Chain A
């Protein structure tokens, strides 16, 4: 294993552990970075437990540093570090520390943008330029968001802890949202290449960690299942020419069977709990799509009805309309979309265009494709919509 992949895998865990020792995120980050610099100089081959090596080195570095500094805070932190006699010398990263840090990064008192940036930085080990590229914002903006968020955590006293059971219904959703957003931005990037594998992989890694840490929370399992089942279809999403391929036209033999099996297994575990939530239902929909040779649309529609009742958002209404079209035809789907309002989102006119085209209303379909093309920000998606529009030209109908 090379140092870069060790860094990616261990950075978040090590920072989380050091943050508990030190009670300070900045200090924790500096200590871990110092330790990785030392590793770069010292390691011929990585030690058997690189995470533990980094934590021990970082902790020693932090103690040295605090000894040199003479503020009251530094002395206090040093005392804390030196008085943990019950800890063995070679300390590996503790999983609970990571969970604590996820909840700190996703605290509802932080701005949503800051939550994602901080999670990617502290737990995913992504660098500021990488986060900026993922979210199409200036590096300076991301850096500022992270600095502000860390300052607020310290100044406002946002605690490093996993919320108590009765607080979880309020505190878990922002954590799940961050991982979901991270994955989606990777799966359908706002601009640049359509898919950013690194973000998808990172979101799945963190979702796996969360599921391992909270195996009794069905929505956590639901989110992991949803991400795995979506990721499983990725290899079939683009044709050899780099063009987008719709679900119905995808070569199912390219789908990742291992991920599908794992996702299905998680969905079954969720079903047994019988505490459905939005992520579990979306995972169940993905499970239906990836089960057998073709999607069972009646079942998909029934699940969307359930999802719409639970989370009546315009996005859910839009996705449900696609299922309505398959079960009850394009006219019924158009009617279902009549009241849906999603300003600026290209998929609404794109879906309308498909339905109009199926009804033979080509002029209206062309106009809807034009709207969708104007709104789409990703080049691959725009090219796809233009191709669909071009296929209409030459046919008649109004």
Chain B
């Protein structure tokens, strides 16, 4: 079995979904989570708060500094993710297709070999 990160992105400035659309999204996500658990592919999943609630911790010249905001200055930020386990990329892509239907584009990225043990 391999593990994959399925991440959903939020784009700053993109039109916000309506309440009704949000409700559908949550409902669909719950349904996918149930399906993943039933199939034994579920590892972990969660949604994240907005990137402005992020803090970056750095150590420079032995001094720890904190900075407000996300690490990368981009318009796209991770909004939530699934960690799933399955036999190969095709299975991961099939799950990603369901997730993308519920939440928009999904990036599929395998964990490295050390994490697969």
Interface residues of chain A, those whose CB is within 8 Å of chain B, are 107, 109, 155-159, 163, 167
Q: How far is the CB of A115 from chain B (nearest CB, A)?
A: 15
Q: How near does chain A come to B7, taking the closest CB pair, in angstroms? A: 15
Please list 24 pairs of residues, one from A and one from B, whose beta carbons are closer than 8 Å in the complex, sorted by A's number.
Answer: A107-B89, A109-B89, A109-B93, A155-B110, A155-B112, A155-B113, A156-B89, A156-B108, A156-B110, A157-B2, A157-B87, A157-B88, A157-B89, A157-B92, A157-B110, A158-B88, A158-B89, A158-B90, A159-B87, A159-B88, A159-B89, A159-B90, A163-B90, A167-B90
Q: What is the CA–CA distance of A156 and B108 in the complex, to the nearest angstrom?
A: 9
Complex contacts, B2 vs chain A, CB 8 Å: 157
Per DSSP, are chain B's interface residues mostly helix, strand or loop, or mixed?
A: mixed
CB neighbours (8 Å) of A156 from chain B are 89, 108, 110
Q: Which residue of A lies closest to B113 (CB)?
A: A155
| A109 to chain B: closest residue by CB | B89
In the complex, which residues of chain A have a beta carbon less than 8 angstroms from the beta carbon of B92?
157
Q: Which residues of A contact B87 (CB under 8 A)?
A: 157, 159
Within 8 A of A (CB), among B68-90: 87-90
Q: Which residues of B contact A163 (CB under 8 A)?
A: 90
Instruction: Tell me the complex Cα distance, A107–B92, Å.
Output: 14
CB neighbours (8 Å) of B110 from chain A are: 155-157
Q: Which residue of chain B lies nearest to A73 when distances are taken between CB atoms in the complex?
A: B113
Interface residues of B in 88-117 (CB under 8 A from A): 88-90, 92-93, 108, 110, 112-113
- In the bound complex, CA of A157 to CA of B90 (Å): 8
B108 contact set on A, CB distance < 8 A: 156
Per DSSP, are chain A's interface residues mostly helix, strand or loop, or mixed? loop
A155 to chain B: closest residue by CB: B110
Cβ of B56 to closest chain A Cβ, rounded Å: 27
Further pairs besides A109-B89, A156-B108, A159-B89: 20, Cβ < 8 Å:
A107-B89, A109-B93, A155-B110, A155-B112, A155-B113, A156-B89, A156-B110, A157-B87, A157-B88, A157-B89, A157-B92, A157-B110, A158-B88, A158-B89, A158-B90, A159-B87, A159-B88, A159-B90, A163-B90, A167-B90
Identity of the chain B residue whose Cβ is nearest the Cβ of A72 in the assembled complex: B117
Residues on the A chain within 8 Å of B90, using CB: 158-159, 163, 167
- Nearest to A164 among chain B residues (CB) is B90
Complex Cα–Cα for A107 and B113 (A): 21
Chain A: minimal CB distance from B27 (Å): 27
B94's nearest neighbour on chain A, judged by CB, is: A167
Residues of A within 8 A of B113 (CB): 155
Please name all residues of chain B whose beta carbon is closer than 8 Å to the beta carbon of A155 when the two chains form the complex.
110, 112-113
A156 to B90, CA, bound (A): 10
What's the nearest-Cβ distance from chain A to residue B48, in Å? 24
Q: CA–CA, A294 to B97, complex, Å?
A: 50
Report the bound CA distance from A242 to B92 in whole Å: 53
CB distance from B95 to the nearest CB of A (A): 13
Complex Cα–Cα for A88 and B107 (A): 44
The complex places the Cα of A109 from the Cα of B96 at a distance, in Å, of 13
CB distance from B105 to the nearest CB of A (A): 14
Considering only CB atoms, which chain A residue lies closest to B92 in the complex? A157
Instruction: Identify the 9 closest CB pairs spanning chains A and B, nearest first.
Output: A159-B88, A157-B88, A157-B2, A157-B89, A156-B89, A156-B110, A158-B89, A155-B110, A159-B90
Nearest CB in chain B: distance from A320 CB, A:
35
- Nearest-neighbour CB distance to chain B for A167, whole angstroms, equals 8
Q: Which residues of B contact A167 (CB under 8 A)?
A: 90
Residues in A whose Cβ lies below 8 Å from that of B112: 155
**In the complex the two chains form, what is the Cα distance from A163 to B87 in whole Å?**
14
Contacts of A159 in B (CB 8 A): 87-90
Determine the distance from Cα of A155 to Cα of B88 in the docked complex, in whole angstroms: 10
Residue from the set B2, B89, B92, B113 with the largest chain A CB neighbour count within 10 Å = B89
B89, chain A: closest CB distance, angstroms: 5
Chain A residue at smallest Cβ distance from B1: A157
Considering the chains assembled together, what is the distance between the CA atoms of A30 and B2 in angstroms? 26
The residues of B that contact A109 with a CB separation of less than 8 Å are 89, 93
Question: Please, how many angstroms separate the alpha-carbon atoms of A155 and B89 in the complex?
Answer: 9
Complex: A156 Cα to B86 Cα, angstroms: 11
By beta carbon, the residue of chain A nearest B2 is: A157
How far is A159 from B92 in the complex, measured between Cα atoms in Å?
11
Residues in B with CB closer than 8 Å to A158 are 88-90
Q: How far does the alpha carbon of A341 sit from the alpha carbon of B87 in the complex, in Å?
A: 44
Closest chain A residue, CB of each to CB of B90: A159
Instruction: Kindly state the separation between the CA atoms of A52 and B113 in the bound complex, as whole angstroms.
Output: 34
Shortest CB–CB separation between residue B46 and chain A, in angstroms?
Answer: 23
The CA-CA distance from A12 to B112 in the complex, in Å, is 29
Minimum CB–CB distance for B57 against chain A, Å: 29
Complex Cα–Cα for A163 and B90 (A): 9
